[in-house]
Amino acid sequence: MERFEMGNFDIAVIGAGHAGCEAALAAARMGKETLLLSINLEALAMMPCNPSVGGSGKGHLVREIDALGGEMGVNIDKSFLQSRMINTAKGPAVHSLRAQADKARYHDEMKRVIEAQPHLCLKQAEAVELLLEEGRVSGLVTRTGAIYRARAVILATGTFLRGRIFIGDSAYDSGPNGLAPSVALADDLKAKGMRLRRFKTGTPARALGSSLDYSRMEEQKGDDPIVPFSFLNDSLEKEQHSCWLTYTNEETHRIIRENIHRSALYGGHIEGVGPRYCPSIEDKISRFADKPRHQLFVEPEGAATDEVYLQGMSSSLPEDVQLRFYRSIPGLEKLEIVRPAYAIEYDCIDPVDLKLSLEHRDFPGLFCAGQFNGSSGYEEAAAQGLMAGINAALWLDGREAFILDRSEAYIGVLIDDLVTKGTEEPYRIMTSRVEYRLLLRQDNADLRLTEKGRALGLVSDARWEKYLDTKQKMEAELLRLAETVPPAAETLAFLESQGLDPGRAAPSLAALLKRPQLDYESLAPLDPQRPALPRHLIDKVQVAVKYEGYINKQREQVARFQRMEQRQLPEEIDYEEISGLRLEARQKLNRYRPRSLGQASRISGVSPADINVLLVYLEKLRRQEAQ
């Protein structure tokens, strides 16, 4: 095949999925000449699985991407069909926004932003080879022979890399939704010595909405008022679509059990490791055999299509079995399958081969993001894409990498878990993975991260003005509540009218707000001078006041955590030389090369005793340098 030069860029991004789009936008917004490739532009910001953005833990990631100046939050606010705040029965730390997405609109809106972005060049092309010069990336070659030079490359190939689809005992090379897989690049990366492994994931069938009987299901409506994902939006008005809830039953389970040998997974056709937290219906029935029924949510795929998504019902059983078990479910008796459920296997790396900046340890200038790093989910992919784009740009300028640690952001937990602990299955974020979740709430992501995004050049003036306004108003309101002491007589009458113990001293509004029985609204009679604040600001203020004690406690824990994070470990240490370290620890430390004592302490196989040995070693180093 003849090869020819087609252009020079600072950064080339291979893959325009959720990771690639955020990476390319971040790099271009930081002023880098950026190329964004996708085998097929219809796969740009495509949602091959669930038609939603957000949910438990994932909503936090979207808010953090937004606060840093990323695009996902803005894009879903333009293209959502329904919005709900979930986990509201629990504490504010786990409140998570989830929006049903109009998939086609989400794609169109993101493509429009990408096409309009200065310094960003979008192309439909398949990368088949990575170019290296003296071991460092220098560009790529496409299937048609085009050579694109680039000083850094970001790999965000998703579920396409050596993609293989499984439905029953039929298997064929393909990306999701029948799109072309990416095989040549997988061969090239392997030939260059990159360690790749097989993961798998699965998706349910899509059905014709008009073939369903919704009168046999429970309607689930969106919230009113709607809470926007992006901090740029104070409110959103939209007529929302509903989702519908129904359940499997014994007949569904019997059909699946009797045919489980025909499933690609249980038939032994699939070698890839699947996500424990997104089990197929076959898995659910095998693993939770005692459960009499499993939930199924019917979710709209888009305003301009009658296709619906059968959430919770992914499968790799053959189509005839799929039709029978779906039709055994109330409301689906006459269901028409538009697209069958399937499982997909694909190549990805072991993320412990990456630095916390998402640069590959063995290929200087090569950054990796998304499903390719062993994660699963649009939000996880977008968060890594943003960080890879930022760090590729900083790396080109010889600037220090932008790392968020576990006490600063869900993004920090996501990347630290992947890179330091590794993962043996597709990794998805969860609130339970986050130690300091009371500090890392979705409502305060702007206060935690917008200044960092501004320093990187990613936060627009409009977003910056909005942030300053929010910060100023919040601080003013917290001060006002703390300093405002309503007249004692009125407070007494008010508390008695609420049947509450008046207590001794005349409390401030803040002290009253700390009472579990009272909230910001209920205090209005005692607070006639209050400013008119938008909902999102009231939520921020209320949490800050009501949880002040817990928040301060968590801040102390973070201070202890950061002391370990700030004990940097020199890059060039040869851990084999440090006597007192156990063999496993020496091997793991030399392989993972942690940045700090804190990161070292999270590597499995490195014990607290090993950390003490390192502490003594660092102290000795410090004294030697002081001499």
Ligand X SMILES: Cc1cc2nc3c(=O)[nH]c(=O)nc-3n(C[C@H](O)[C@H](O)[C@H](O)COP(=O)(O)OP(=O)(O)OC[C@H]3O[C@@H](n4cnc5c(N)ncnc54)[C@H](O)[C@@H]3O)c2cc1C
Tokens of 74: 């803005």
Residues 6+ apart with CB under 8 A from 257: 285
Find out whether 442 and 96 touch, Cβ atoms under 8 Å. Answer: yes
| Chain position carrying tokens 């992914």 | 314
Q: Does 279 bind ligand X (CB under 6 A)?
A: no
Q: Does 157 bind ligand X (CB under 6 A)?
A: yes
- Exactly one of 34, 38, 83, 252 binds ligand X (CB under 6 A); that residue is 38
- Exactly one of 27, 29, 48, 585 binds ligand X (CB under 6 A); that residue is 48
- Exactly one of 7, 8, 40, 123 binds ligand X (CB under 6 A); that residue is 40
Tokens of 102: 């109009």
CA angle (454, 458, 459) in 5-degree steps: 55
Q: Does 356 bind ligand X (CB under 6 A)?
A: no
C-beta closer to ligand X: residue 130 or 545: 130
- Exactly one of 110, 120, 127, 152 binds ligand X (CB under 6 A); that residue is 127
- Exactly one of 43, 383, 386, 445 binds ligand X (CB under 6 A); that residue is 43
- Exactly one of 68, 278, 392, 449 binds ligand X (CB under 6 A); that residue is 278
C-beta closer to ligand X: residue 33 or 126: 126
Q: Which stretch binds ligand X (CB under 6 A): 375-383, 536-544, 549-557, 596-604?
A: 375-383
Q: Does 526 bind ligand X (CB under 6 A)?
A: no
- Exactly one of 9, 11, 12, 16 binds ligand X (CB under 6 A); that residue is 16
Q: Which stretch binds ligand X (CB under 6 A): 188-196, 325-333, 371-379, 592-600?
A: 371-379
Backbone angles phi and psi of 96, in degrees to 5: -135, 135
User: Least Å distance between CB 372 and ligand X?
Assistant: 6
Report d(CA 38, CA 266) in Å as an integer: 33
- Exactly one of 24, 81, 167, 381 binds ligand X (CB under 6 A); that residue is 381
For 464, the 3-state DSSP assignment is helix
C-beta closer to ligand X: residue 124 or 305: 124
- Kindly provide the b/e burial profile for residues 88-126, where b requires at least 16 CB atoms within 10 angstroms of the residue's own CB: eeeebbbbbbbbbbbbbbbbbbbbebbeebebbbbbebb
Element (H, E) at 25: helix 18-29
What end-to-end distance do the CA atoms of the chain give, in Å? 62
Nearest to 543 by CA among 469, 417, 442: 442
Q: Does 377 bind ligand X (CB under 6 A)?
A: yes
Q: Does 414 bind ligand X (CB under 6 A)?
A: no
User: Least Å distance between CB 399 and ligand X?
Assistant: 25
- Exactly one of 52, 230, 315, 371 binds ligand X (CB under 6 A); that residue is 371
Strands 218-220 and 243-247: antiparallel
User: Least Å distance between CB 28 and ligand X?
Assistant: 17
User: Least Å distance between CB 66 and ligand X?
Assistant: 17
Q: Does 96 bind ligand X (CB under 6 A)?
A: no
Nearest to 34 by CA among 453, 393, 357: 393
Report d(CA 509, CA 487) in Å as an integer: 11
Q: Does 374 bind ligand X (CB under 6 A)?
A: no
| Chain position carrying tokens 């919040």 | 474
Q: Which stretch binds ligand X (CB under 6 A): 71-79, 111-119, 156-164, 242-250?
A: 156-164
Find out whether 199 and 272 touch, Cβ atoms under 8 Å. Answer: yes
Q: Does 428 bind ligand X (CB under 6 A)?
A: yes
- Exactly one of 24, 28, 30, 37 binds ligand X (CB under 6 A); that residue is 37
Tokens of 68: 């840093």
| Chain position carrying tokens 């790392």 | 403
Element (H, E) at 479: helix 461-483
- Exactly one of 56, 159, 431, 599 binds ligand X (CB under 6 A); that residue is 159
Tokens of 399: 């600037």
β partners of residue 148: 7, 140
Report d(CA 151, CA 260) in Å as an integer: 50
C-beta closer to ligand X: residue 381 or 459: 381
- Exactly one of 201, 315, 442, 450 binds ligand X (CB under 6 A); that residue is 201
User: Least Å distance between CB 45 and ligand X?
Assistant: 8
User: Least Å distance between CB 521 and ligand X?
Assistant: 36
Q: Does 395 bind ligand X (CB under 6 A)?
A: no
C-beta closer to ligand X: residue 381 or 474: 381
Q: Does 49 bind ligand X (CB under 6 A)?
A: yes
Q: Does 182 bind ligand X (CB under 6 A)?
A: yes
Dump the DSSP string for 83-152: EEEE-TTS-GGG-EEEEEE-HHHHHHHHHHHHHH-TTEEEEE--EEEEEEETTEEEEEEETTSEEEEEEE
- Exactly one of 9, 11, 12, 14 binds ligand X (CB under 6 A); that residue is 14
Residues 6+ apart with CB under 8 A from 331: 212, 213, 214, 215, 216, 217, 244, 246, 298
C-beta closer to ligand X: residue 72 or 481: 72
Find out whether 272 and 345 touch, Cβ atoms under 8 Å. Answer: yes
Element (H, E) at 296: strand 295-300
Q: Does 259 bind ligand X (CB under 6 A)?
A: no
Q: Does 386 bind ligand X (CB under 6 A)?
A: no
Q: Which stretch binds ligand X (CB under 6 A): 75-83, 198-206, 494-502, 555-563?
A: 198-206
C-beta closer to ligand X: residue 128 or 589: 128
- Exactly one of 126, 282, 345, 539 binds ligand X (CB under 6 A); that residue is 126
Window 304-343: residues binding ligand X (CB under 6 A): none
Whether cis (ω within 30° of 0) applies to the bond prior to 225 is: yes
Q: Which stretch binds ligand X (CB under 6 A): 44-52, 251-259, 331-339, 441-449?
A: 44-52
236 DSSP assignment: B
Q: Does 270 bind ligand X (CB under 6 A)?
A: no
Q: Which amino acid is at 562?
A: Q
- Exactly one of 9, 20, 491, 558 binds ligand X (CB under 6 A); that residue is 20
Query: Can you say whether the dihedral through the CA atoms of 542, 56, 416, 605 is positive or negative?
Result: positive
For 542, the 3-state DSSP assignment is helix
C-beta closer to ligand X: residue 17 or 73: 17
Q: Which stretch binds ligand X (CB under 6 A): 152-160, 219-227, 400-408, 531-539?
A: 152-160
Find out whether 158 and 19 touch, Cβ atoms under 8 Å. Answer: yes
Output the CA–CA distances (angstroms, integers) from residue 490 to 52, 212, 527, in the order listed: 48, 58, 10
Number of residues located near ligand X, criterion CB under 6 A? 39
Contact residues: ligand X, CB under 6 A = 14-20, 37-40, 43, 46, 48-49, 126-127, 156-161, 176, 182, 185, 201-203, 278, 344, 370-372, 376-378, 381, 428
